[in-house]
Structure 1
Amino acid sequence: MSKFTDTFRNIFKIHELRQRIIYTLVLLFIVRLGSHLTTPGVDAALLTESMKNQSSDSLFGLYDLFVGGAFHNAAIFALGIMPYISASIILQLLGAVVPYFQKLQQEGEEGRKKITQLTRYGTVLISAMQAWGVTVRLLNLEVNGMPIVPDPVRGIGWVLSTIVIMTAGTIFMMWMGEQITEKGIGNGISLIIFIGIIARFPFAMLDEYRLIQAGQRSLIVEIIIFAFMFLIIAGVVLVTQGTRRIPVQYAKRVVGRKIYGGVTQYIPLRVNTAGVMPIIFAQAIMFIPNTVLSFFPNNEFLQSVANLFHYQSAVYSIIYALMIIFFTYFYTAIAFNPKDVADNMKKQGGFIPGIRPGKQTSDFIDNILTKITLPGSIFLAIIAILPAFVSAWGVTGQFAQFFGGTSLLIIVGVALDTLQQIESHLLMRHYDGFMKSGKIKGRR
């Protein structure tokens, strides 16, 4: 414990690191503040009342998770940073199939700048479309016959102003994310999503405390639940950092009077190359049926179908798990190209011992990647369906989200990346890191 306390003190001894952390915290505070400022023209009291019966088992619930409750509050930051994430994913997928984007990805720094510019344009377009959808939803919400948006306010002027405000909110959050990455600590975009998710944790803990206080759960059972949660987090950290290292030997080259190469390096193939993306894709698709069927509350047949897609049903869990395994392989194939790795190795005079350069190297890497992706995908599937099982055991729904799924993977991944950057600053100035031996490894 004293080791951790000393490390924490050392963090604030370094002026630059201290300034970066304070800068990051200030911008994250602004993010949280903006998620509670209701959009002008919306009756906040009626909105709160209407949201009490809204189900989290829908696309709206998933979206609200990523924006830290801002969507639920119809705040100026209601869209969060998700339009930027969507634009980034679209451009990444286009890079796998469209030659123009493939060329940009191979052009180095200039190509990266062009892709960043296109991502920003895409963010504005997606934000405007989503903001328009939010205005339509708000105009249709009523509580006891009273509209959420009062009659004097309703109109094309309010719709246009709301679209502008929410789009500007997303652009401002995108700017803050970039500023955190450049002048703060950690990845700004990831930290904005992280702070939105982690903000729910105190309320989840409060729900658990109320259960104990009301006598509905014993303290021993609560301790067991927290121990189980600790083991799950440890497993997620282990798999997130897990890699299969492939040795690469570089031949010696004589350039002038210097000798280059002749060393052994490693290609780290991650057990979970796809990260959290398979769960996001699968969850978004699995929530579509309930989102659509929620518009037909009086149809008994459709509601019986909706029950099959409830997140605690066996049918939902099986289909959900299979989709995650599929998307893990799909996204891994997009994110990591063995052929490009083999070609780069060949150009630099590198080779895997016992494997011929070129196609055989590509096939060898692809074979290993396929094998290690299987346990990684199965682990992701188990983590994704764990909240449903934990909820069935009596854990409150809000607290169950931190036992697995998208929330836990994002929290662990972002925390590891941020701690790795802090540790790098400490080691650079000859201070000890967080661990007695070795260094913290991030996701990348």
Structure 2
Amino acid sequence: MKKLFTTLSNIWKIEDLRARILFTLLCLLIYRIGSFIVLPGVDSASLDDAQAKEGLLGLLNMFAGGSFSRASIFALGVMPYISASIVVQLLGIAVPYFQKLQKEGESGRKKINQFTRYLTIIITALQAIGYVRSQISPDARLFSEPMFTISSMFILTAGTMFVMWLGEKITDKGIGNGISMIIMVGIIAQLPFGILSEFNSRMGAQGGLISFIVEIAALFLVVMFTILIVQGVRKIPVQYAKKIVGAKQYGGVRQYIPLKVNAAGVMPIIFAQAIMFIPTTIGSFFPSAQSSFLAAFSDYTSLTYNLTFAFMIIAFTFFYTAITVNPVQMSDDMKKNGGFVPGVKPGKSTGDYIDAVISKITLPGSVFLAIIAIMPSIAIILGVNSQFANFYGGTSLLILVGVVLDTLQQVESHLLMRHYDGLMKTGRIKGRTPVSAGGSVI
């Protein structure tokens, strides 16, 4: 406990780190205040928020920190930006022009960011119209149409762009990972309500306090398991040839390429979830033609839904890892810098070796990711409240664990640069994205 207080004291002593933390907290406070400001022309007392807390809408509501169900000016949060980022990232794989921009360095990155912002505006405007028509009932509208829809579209779009701006400011002047921090705060804001809801339901049911304590212990074990998956790496040793320039010797050291067990991050779950909601969407357009097949995919606790969901996550993990981690480029970079894997020929043999290692570690990584993804459904089947069950796995838990680890890594880097002790007694905190593997959007 004494070491904890000493570390907190050291954090506060570093002027730059202190300023960054305070700036980040200020931005997050502004975001949370804005999430409670209701859209003009909406009667908050007449809102029916029960539908906005179930299924996909419940997940969006969690990411938006409850703004979605409150019809806030930040109701859409940063989800349109994430959707635009995914689209642009996929265009970078399929469209030569975007591939060229990715190779142009800083100037190309600025152009890609500009495209992402423009696409975010378009997606937000479309989602805003759909949100107003589907989530705000006519009884809750104080303005007449079409003025209400038009004004709400502009306000929701402006709200999303402002949240994006806050995220960029946190990245530049705060601790970093601005968009991820905003999503994390939105998820954490729902945790007390989930715990309270589960506590109240357990107090009135059989088992009482003992069942609640067992659920908290199970949640702790799931979080520990998720941390192991996020931080798990397979190190490939790389030896660099010795070079003597003048009186100095360069190279001759052994380093490692850290290959992530889960290099794809949360992207496979996001892709799989988007596809899994297609049958439900089709069924909503043709309610009279509902079949047992569509009904099975409408129930996210059914065996059919979860098996299909798990299989798609495994498939998307292999796909996303293949497009983000390039063994050939890694092999070429090592060869140019005089590096080689001991016992493996440089060039194509090294690329094949790295590719084989990636394939071997991606299989267990994808299976574990699928298990984490279906954990909320398992928790609901075992009797856990759906609001609390969302924290037992899925995208929300992966984002929470990843962002917390990244933030702690940033803080530890500042401490070690000033020759203070780190946050851990032994070793160092590892973030989600190593230098050799591609990072995820979130």
Q: TM-score range by the shorter chain?
A: over 0.9
- Deviations along 1:272-320, whole A, 9 cap, x unmatched? 00011111111122123234434566x4844773245311111111001
Contact 1:402 1:408 in 2 (8 A): yes
Please point out which of 362, 372, 391 is paired with 1:383.
Answer: 372
State the match for 2:236 in structure 1.
Answer: 246
Contact 2:268 2:320 in 1 (8 A): yes
1:199 matched to 2:177? The reply is no
- Deviations along 1:51-102, whole A, 9 cap, x unmatched? 22456123x3332222122222221111111121122111211112222211
Letter in 1 for 2:382: W
1:86-235 superposed matches below 5 A: 86-138=83-135, 141-142=137-138, 147-150=139-142, 153-235=143-225
**Deviation (angstroms), 1:364:** 1.1
Please point out which of 304, 320, 335 is paired with 1:331.
Answer: 320
Contact 2:101 2:112 in 1 (8 A): yes
State the match for 2:40 in structure 1.
Answer: 40
The share of aligned pairs that are identical, in percent, is 57
Q: State how far apart, in whole Å, the 2-side matches of 1:35 and 1:112 are.
A: 31
Unaligned runs of 5+ in 1: none
Please point out which of 37, 62, 67 is paired with 2:64.
Answer: 67
Letter in 1 for 2:31: V
1:266 matched to 2:264? The reply is no
1:373 matched to 2:362? The reply is yes
The 3-state SS of whatever aligns with 1:259 is strand
Letter in 1 for 2:173: K
**Deviation (angstroms), 1:215:** 4.8
Deviates more, 1:88-97 or 1:288-297: 288-297
> What TM-score does the superposition give when structure 2 sets the normalisation length?
0.93
The 3-state SS of whatever aligns with 2:69 is coil
Cα 1:89–1:305 change in 2 (3 A) is: closer
Letter in 1 for 2:59: L
The 3-state SS of whatever aligns with 1:275 is coil
Letter in 2 for 1:31: Y
- Deviations along 1:350-392, whole A, 9 cap, x unmatched? 2212222222211111111011000000001111111111111
Please point out which of 330, 333, 341 is paired with 1:344.
Answer: 333
- Deviations along 1:156-199, whole A, 9 cap, x unmatched? 33322222111111111111101111111131010011111111
Letter in 2 for 1:125: I
> What TM-score does the superposition give when structure 1 sets the normalisation length?
0.92
Cα 1:426–1:378 change in 2 (3 A) is: same
Q: State how far apart, in whole Å, the 2-side matches of 1:308 and 1:132 are.
A: 26
Contact 1:78 1:166 in 2 (8 A): yes
Q: State how far apart, in whole Å, the 1-side matches of 2:249 and 2:95 are.
A: 41
Letter in 1 for 2:82: I
**Deviation (angstroms), 1:148:** 2.7
Q: State how far apart, in whole Å, the 2-side matches of 1:238 and 1:209 are.
A: 28
Contact 2:53 2:61 in 1 (8 A): no
State the match for 2:299 in structure 1.
Answer: 310
